[in-house]
Chain A
Amino acid sequence: MRYLPHTPDEVEEMLQITGHTSLTDLFSTVPATYRLSEDLDLAPALTEWELDAYMEELSSNMAAAPSHKIFLGAGSYTHYIPSALKYLLSRSEFATAYTPYQPEISQGTLQGIYEFQTMITSLLGMDIATASHYDCGTALAEAMLIALRKNKQTTRVAVSALVHPHHREIIKTYLTPSNFEIVEIPSNQDGTTDLYALDAMGDVAAVAVQSPNFLGCIEDLAKVREAADAKNALMLVSFTEAMAYGLLKNPGSSGADIVCGEGQSFGIPQSFGGPGLGILTSTKKFMRDLPGRFVGRTKDADGKDGFVLTLSTREQHIRREKASSNICSNNGLNAMAAGMYLAFSGRQGLSKIAQINHDKAVFLKGILMTAGFTGAFETPFFNEFVLKAPRGFAATHRKLGLEKGIVAGLALECYYPEMEDHYLFCATEVFSRQDMENLAKEVGA
């Protein structure tokens, strides 16, 4: 097998040195009763060429972009990824490197992550960013735990009903063992969070809102700050579409304490939902509370600039049971990818691409409404919006997927029972006018 270099002669020679009679003899410290007498019941090894054929078969049995037009967002977005980015990310010095615990031979990773930390905090208007988290949902769950640790007077956190349903499930899972309570802030008729409902909700350690929210609507973050202040609570803002902040005012400007998000839109393929990029940022105040790695700038013994992992004493390998989180591996290579995307697009490119996203979505909404859909909310949106479908659309939706290679939005009923016949659409820069007109034609038919 090409990954196993040992020849029989070498094995023989090495066993002489170790003092064993055979490879089996190497496992003498394993009690005989534990040892397997039969082989693993797995399919026999495939050659590289057979693997190619098999994976080609599996991957073809998928409705995927770009062959399929999938007008979905809901936490996973189709954006163009520059070829130069894919090429750079494939450099094995990045991909096959270990965590940069030995900084002298990891300066590439370290500077790349430092640059990511810098650019993402600039983009979001925050002070500190970690080197990444798993995804937005897990980052948000950890942010809840931070709020509850800082404010020991209460065991409750308030989360908007318009935070991604799967993120709310993660928070619930994470908070179960500690008997912390999650109170849900209901939504308004206009597709935003009903912050007034908070008044009657008692003490909470955090107020968490997603913007743009799951329905695509942009929340009034200034009002969220006021609501959080009234409760003496932390203001947590999350987002699933990072591209939005190429256009929208950043959440830091509204005074958010912790902002977490999904960075998959920046140079990372969707890959059936993972791996993505958990972005976790905060104001300076929470520097020692954030879980995960930090890259810091410093000097070497000769006075040259360099980078190291720092503030490690918060982490599990030092703090152990007193660590605020157990996170070890994060999504480092994806943070590099996001850094590269922001480097390639930059101030000029990101704002233009974000604007095009918005333009496409507005156009799509318009032609779908002409084709028989009705509007749901007047609230401004970025690249996702909700429409009410004509009667019987579910059957059309399924048919379009199976026969025409089009996924026409996400049915919302299973997430919000009152939103029967409502669908969440997304349009990004990858959809041509023709693609969108085809969709409108198909649904109107």
Chain B
Amino acid sequence: MSPKIGTSGLIFNEPLLWEKSREGRCGISIPTRDVPEVTMDAALINEGPDLPQVNELDVVRHYTRLSQWNFGVDSGMYPLGSCTMKYNPKTNEVQAARPGFTGAHPMVSQELSQGAMELMYNLERELAEITGMDAVALQPAAGAHGELTGMLLIHAFHAKNGKQRSKIIIPDTAHGTNPASASLCGYKSINIKSNENGILTPEAVAAVMDEDTAGIMITNPNTLGLFEENVKEIADIVHARGGLVYGDGANLNAIMGIVKLGKIGIDVVHFNMHKTFATPHGGGGPGSGPIAVVKKLEPFLPSPRIKKSDKGFSWVFDCPDTIGRMVTFHGHFGVMVKAYSYLRSMGPDGLKNASSYAVLNANYIKEKLRDTLELAYDRPCMHECVFSDKKQQAHHVSTLDMAKRLMDYGFHPPTVYFPLVVPGAIMIEPTETESKETIDEFIAAFKAIAREAEENPDLVRSAPYTPKVKRLDEVSAARKPCLRG
């Protein structure tokens, strides 16, 4: 058996930044003052900001050491279900760092912003084509923000049609942001159950759909990694009663070039650029969550929109039915450059191959681990598969324990305890950028841990051992929160 990928190494203890502070130190180059100094009214100014004083090398060492405590996609595999932790291409970073982009002010006149506007316009076209939709808005700053935008569109649509509705249908497999976004629009969530095959049935939807229901929020493929085969029929039921269908696009990586969501009943879908389109997660953002809509929702999109004519690109402010603004300027342009670079690098064949290999990898893992872990739904999966800790319960080893032990083997844990419909869920999404060898190593690691769970459960229950810290006391952190130093 090949040795574990995860191993110990020399990393450093590093105190909090202010412990490196010494009076008089400074780590930045102070610009020359070539104009007179002006003293402001003493009542308006502070006595010097309360910040540490650290020299440049100490700051560089500080953050370098901190970075060494982190796991990133560049370190190893992140099989996080519904997160699509694929490789973040470095050329995308180079493109976003071009001075013509980084030094661009969003309120400079359109004639002086043509390059960025062209990129945004082209990106809108790409996103519309991938999903088979008619119009796109790039403003939303993240997936959840795109969801809120989509719900606001639905709300505006119903308001315009003279009758606001009070409910939204949400499947039991939905991501938490779905009902949260619906609540922000004042909608009550009507929860429906998926069937024994892990998908929604038209009957379940028809049972609750009425003229007081604004619509339904569907993730396809869903968070169990299964394709919602009945989506078109479900959409028809919702549409027939005047409702709209929101598509959560978090799992788009499974279907690019295979299915167009706009052609199977979805009216509005959001993208997670930091998932499907390979922009880096940044340890918690920034992401970007554009939305694409069918024609009937186009008038409500956030404004301004971009128009192309033979004179170039221009902003359109005259959007009488717009929901307004979702962000201060145009959205996360810096992230859009990376996503657009990715799309242009992949091309149509590349995207279809990406989805195909993503689905291949997930099905491969499903087959290889089905005897090791309890498979939640014994059906073909899409880009992710869901197991549970049922087989390990006899040894009192939980999903959490196995997740922590995976770290010692050199892998980031998969998504755990989600979706809620599978108790002890382990959701594995390898993505297409992981090679067969890496996936085989991952499979070997999980098999080894399952064996440890039988033979030496205490070892698994106290994992991890190799990272900088062991399991942390989250209870005290919540009881007596210490949120600043």
Contacts and interface: CB of A to CB of B under 8 A. Distances in A.
A330 B17 CA distance: 23
A39 B257 contact: yes
A314 B25 CA distance: 40
A259 interface: no
Given A63-B112, A74-B107, 5 more contacts: A31-B232, A93-B71, A108-B66, A271-B102, A326-B147
A444 B177 CA distance: 55
Contact of B329 (A75, A78, A90): A75
17 contacts: A6-B357, A18-B367, A62-B113, A64-B102, A68-B103, A104-B469, A105-B407, A170-B328, A269-B97, A269-B102, A273-B331, A293-B284, A316-B179, A320-B180, A332-B283, A348-B26, A401-B111
B310 interface: no
A4 B436 contact: no
Nearest to A40: B348
| Contact-residue size bin, chain B (C-beta under 8 Å from the other chain) | 35 or more
Residue picked from B80, B325, B331, B464, most chain A C-beta under 10 Å = B325
A347 B31 contact: no
Interface string B84-122: 011111010111111111111111110111111011000
A401 B181 CA distance: 42
Interface stretch (B274-282, B391-399, B451-459): B274-282
Contacts of A17: 364, 367-368
B155 interface: yes
Interface string A291-308: 001111111111010111
Contacts of B464: 104-105
Contacts of A151: none
A4 B113 contact: no
B284 A109 contact: yes
Interface in B273-320: 274, 278, 280-288, 302
A107 B337 CA distance: 29
A441 interface: no
A27 B254 CA distance: 9
Given A91-B63, A173-B326, A4 B258 contact: no
A92 B73 contact: yes
Interface string B168-203: 001000011101111111101100000000000000
Nearest to A135: B328
Given A84-B59, A274-B141, A407-B105, A42 B280 contact: no
A270 B180 contact: no
Interface in B342-393: 343-354, 356-357, 359-361, 363-364, 366-368, 379-380, 382
A392 interface: no
B219 interface: no
Contact of A42 (B29, B335, B347, B366): B347
B1 interface: no
A107 B66 contact: yes
Contact of B38 (A4, A300, A347, A362): A362
Nearest to A179: B186
Given A62-B101, A64-B103, A177-B185, A30 B259 contact: yes
A333 B280 contact: yes
B70 interface: yes
A216 B72 CA distance: 41
B445 interface: no
B112 A29 contact: no
Interface in A119-147: 119, 121-123, 127-129, 131-132, 134-138
A173 B319 CA distance: 14
A61 to B, nearest CB: 4
A98 B414 CA distance: 12
B10 interface: no
A91 B73 contact: no
Contacts of B135: none
Interface string B456-485: 000000101001111111101110011111
Contacts of A80: 29, 31
Contacts of B361: 14
A218 B64 CA distance: 39
Interface bracket on A: 35 or more
A95 interface: yes
A40 to B, nearest CB: 4
A235 interface: no
B259 A95 contact: no
A59 B100 contact: yes
A271 B286 contact: no
A21 interface: no
Given A66-B99, A432-B34, A18 B364 contact: yes
A336 B70 CA distance: 13
A247 interface: yes
Given A36-B259, A298-B476, A4 B283 contact: no
Nearest to A6: B357
Contacts of B56: 82, 84, 344
Nearest to A288: B481
Interface string A355-394: 1101110110000000000000000100000000000000
A115 B16 CA distance: 7
Contacts of A283: none
A18 B34 CA distance: 70
Nearest to B359: A26
B327 interface: yes
Interface in A55-98: 55-68, 70, 72, 74-76, 78, 80, 82, 84, 87-88, 90-98
Contacts of B53: 346-348
B481 A287 contact: yes
A262 B328 CA distance: 10
Interface stretch (B40-48, B204-212, B239-247): B40-48
Nearest to A358: B38
Contacts of B148: 326
For the complex of A and B, list the 4 residue pairs with the smallest distance between their C-beta atoms, beginning with the closest: A273-B329, A332-B284, A45-B347, A273-B106
Interface string B122-155: 0000100110000000000111110110001001
B35 A40 contact: no
Nearest to A140: B328
Nearest to B38: A362
A329 B344 contact: no
Contacts of A100: 283-284
A248 B46 contact: yes
A349 to B, nearest CB: 4
Nearest to B6: A105
A402 interface: yes
Contact of A343 (B62, B89, B286, B467): B62
Residue of A328, A401, A430 with highest tally of chain B CB at under 10 A: A328
A276 interface: yes
B195 to A, nearest CB: 14
Given A55-B341, A115-B16, A326-B147, A321 B183 contact: yes
A345 interface: yes
Given A4-B350, A301-B471, A327-B142, A88 B49 contact: no
Given A92-B72, A275-B286, A308 B186 contact: no
Contact of B114 (A4, A62, A359, A430): A62
A306 B44 CA distance: 39
Given A3-B87, A61-B100, A97-B283, A347 B330 contact: no
Which residue, B74, B181, B328, has most C-beta atoms of chain A within 10 A? B328
Given A344-B28, A356-B31, A173 B152 contact: yes
Nearest to B411: A105
Contacts of A173: 152, 302, 323-326
Nearest to B118: A58
Contacts of B91: 48, 51-52
Contact of A429 (B31, B48, B258, B484): B31
A197 interface: no
A176 B155 contact: yes
A223 interface: no
B28 A75 contact: no
B161 to A, nearest CB: 15
